[in-house]
Amino acid sequence: MKTELHPEYREVLFHDTSSDTYFLINSTVQTNETKEYEGGTYPYMTVDISSASHPFYTGKQKSATRDGRVARFNKRYNRNTESTSDDE
């Protein structure tokens, strides 16, 4: 490998600020900050959201299946959205 062609691959400390969780992951991200973590000093990077705080991974995902224009129309005109039978 050429030494000046590839970025430095090293352990970087990521901090999820929304859940106050730290991750020590190998990365090539460039940062000027460092922070001590578990006895070592690592390059430090903050992130707004990660697997520790994202609703998809935490299981706190909200379902919006009945929201929208059609649901508001059905609610306004008291329409039942369940399947109807034309056999009658």
User: For 17-35, what is each residue's pLDDT tens digit?
Assistant: 888 899 999 999 999 999 9
pLDDT the model gives residue 3? 73
Q: What's the structural domain count of the chain?
A: 1
pLDDT the model gives residue 66? 53
69 belongs to a structural domain: yes
Domain extent at residue 70: 10-76
pLDDT the model gives residue 57? 65
54 belongs to a structural domain: yes
The whole model's pTM is what? 0.60
52 belongs to a structural domain: yes
Residue pLDDT, tens place only, 31-79:
999 999 999 999 999 988 887 877 676 777 665 555 677 777 778 887 7
User: How large is the C-alpha radius of gyration of the chain?
Assistant: 25
CB atoms within 10 A of CB 11: 12
Distance CA 57, CA 60 (A): 8
85 belongs to a structural domain: no
pLDDT the model gives residue 63? 56
